[in-house]
C-alpha cells in the first residue's frame, strides 16, 4: 500500500501512504524516525513549516541516502509574514529540507488568509512556485467548499490535494475555523467538500484518520472495527488491527493516508 500511487489532476502521482511528522512529532527531532521510515519502505514524507522540524526531516532524508527521485516530500505554507511571499517561505523550507524542490506544497490552513482577496493572492503565489518548479504539485489543507470555491474561481491550476484532519498550529487563532477530519464518524459531514473535490479532481489526503480508535474510543464503531479485524485475520491467517481496517476503509474511498 505504501508505494501504490494515486494520480493527481496535474498528471503527477502521489504515494497512497505517507509518514507524517506532525501531531506526536510536532516540534520534535524526527531525524532518526524519518530515516527508519524510509528504510522501512516509506517514500512519501509529510512535513510542514508549522511543525517546527523541517531541519530534522531533511536530515533524516539525507541520512537515509535514498535517491531523491524515489521520494515524495510534502511541506506546507504557514503564515505569510509581512513582506514575505509563498516563494520566500518555500525557499526557506527547501534550505531546511536540503532539497531543490518539494513534490507537494500546501496552504496549511485558510485561517491566516481570511481578509478579502488574500486567499486568492496566496493561491496565485502558489501557482508561481509550481511554474518555477520549486513545487511539482500544489494544494490546500483544511479547506471547506467556500474556501475552495474562492480560489477555484480564478485558478490557473486547481489544487491537486486537500489534506483534511491536520493540525496547522497550536495557537488560539485556529479556533477561527474548525479543522476538517476524515473518518467514519464525520464521513457524512464531509460530503459537500468531497463532492466539490470530485468535480475538480482534487484528491483527499487524510491526517488523523485513526481518531475513532484513539480519540473516540468507546463509540459505536468499536465493535464493527473489532469484528472486521477478526474476520480479516481469520481469512488471511495473519493478524489485522483496527488501525489497518480504518486504513483499508480510507483506501477504498480513494483517500491518501498520512500516519
Instruction: Please report which confidence band the pLDDT of residue 175 belongs to, taking 50, 70 and 90 as the band edges.
Output: very low
Residue 84 pLDDT? 97
Let me know if residue 152 belongs to a domain.
Answer: yes
Residue 115's alpha-carbon distances to 120, 121, 143, 162, in angstroms, are 10, 11, 15, 21
pLDDT exceeds cutoff 80 at 165: no
Structural contact between residues 182 and 204, judged by C-beta atoms closer than 8 angstroms: yes
Let me know if residue 230 belongs to a domain.
Answer: no
CATH number for position 27: 3.20.20.100
Residue 210 pLDDT? 85
Let me know if residue 228 belongs to a domain.
Answer: no
**In the chain, how many domains are there?**
1
Report which of residues 209 and 116 the model is more confident about: 116
Spell out where 111-194 has E strands.
135-141, 161-164
Let me know if residue 87 belongs to a domain.
Answer: yes
Average pLDDT rounded to a whole number, residues 136-163: 97
Name the active-site residue from 44, 51, 78, 207.
51
pLDDT exceeds cutoff 50 at 38: yes
Cell numbers given for 175: 479556533
Arithmetic mean of pLDDT over the chain:
92
51 catalytic, yes or no? yes
Name the active-site residue from 44, 108, 112, 183.
108
Let me know if residue 155 belongs to a domain.
Answer: yes
- Going by the DSSP 8-state scheme, the letter that residue 29 receives in this structure is -
Residue numbers of the domain that contains 116: 5-216+253-258
Which among 59, 43, 100, 56 is positioned nearest to 256, based on CA atoms? 43
pLDDT exceeds cutoff 80 at 81: yes
Let me know if residue 224 belongs to a domain.
Answer: no
pLDDT exceeds cutoff 50 at 167: no
Let me know if residue 245 belongs to a domain.
Answer: no
Let me know if residue 14 belongs to a domain.
Answer: yes
pLDDT exceeds cutoff 70 at 177: no
Instruction: Please report which confidence band the pLDDT of residue 1 belongs to, taking 50, 70 and 90 as the band edges.
Output: low
Residue 232 pLDDT? 97
Q: Which residues, other chains included, contact 120 with Cβ-Cβ below 8 Å and sequence gap of 6+?
A: 150, 151, 153, 154
Q: Which residues, other chains included, contact 15 with Cβ-Cβ below 8 Å and sequence gap of 6+?
A: 2, 3, 4, 5, 6, 43, 44, 72, 256
Distance between CA atoms of residues 120 and 192, nearest Å: 21
Instruction: Please report which confidence band the pLDDT of residue 2 belongs to, taking 50, 70 and 90 as the band edges.
Output: low
Amino acid at each position: 500500500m505504501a508505494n501504490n500511487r494515486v494520480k493527481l489532476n496535474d498528471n503527477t502521482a502521489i504515494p497512497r501512504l505517507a509518514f507524517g511528522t506532525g501531531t506526536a512529532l510536532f516540534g520534535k527531532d524526527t531525524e532518526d524516525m524519518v530515516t527508519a521510515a524510509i528504510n522501512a519502505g516509506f517514500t512519501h514524507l509529510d512535513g510542514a513549516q508549522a511543525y517546527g522540524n523541517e531541519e530534522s526531516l531533511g536530515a533524516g532524508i539525507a541520512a537515509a541516502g535514498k535517491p531523491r527521485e524515489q521520494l515524495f516530500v510534502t511541506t506546507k505554507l504557514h503564515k505569510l509574514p509581512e513582506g514575505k511571499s509563498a516563494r520566500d517561505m518555500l525557499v526557506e523550507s527547501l534550505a531546511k529540507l536540503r532539497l531543490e524542490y518539494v513534490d507537494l506544497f500546501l496552504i496549511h490552513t485558510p485561517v491566516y488568509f481570511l481578509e478579502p482577496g488574500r486567499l486568492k493572492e496566496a493561491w496565485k503565489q502558489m501557482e508561481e512556485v509550481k511554474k518555477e518548479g520549486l513545487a511539482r504539485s500544489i494544494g490546500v489543507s483544511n479547506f471547506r467548499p467556500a474556501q475552495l470555491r474562492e480560489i477555484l474561481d480564478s485558478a490557473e491550476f486547481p489544487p491537486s490535494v486537500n489534506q483534511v484532519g491536520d493540525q496547522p498550529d497550536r495557537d488560539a487563532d485556529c479556533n477561527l475555523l474548525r479543522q476538517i477530519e476524515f473518518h467514519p464518524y464525520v464521513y457524512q459531514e464531509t460530503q459537500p467538500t468531497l463532492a466539490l473535490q470530485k468535480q475538480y479532481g482534487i484528491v483527499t489526503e487524510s491526517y488523523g484518520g485513526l481518531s475513532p480508535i484513539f480519540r473516540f474510543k468507546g463509540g459505536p464503531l468499536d465493535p464493527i472495527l473489532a469484528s472486521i479485524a477478526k474476520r480479516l485475520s481469520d481469512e488471511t491467517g495473519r493478524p489485522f488491527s483496527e488501525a489497518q481496517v480504518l486504513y483499508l476503509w480510507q483506501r477504498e474511498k480513494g483517500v491518501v493516508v498520512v500516519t
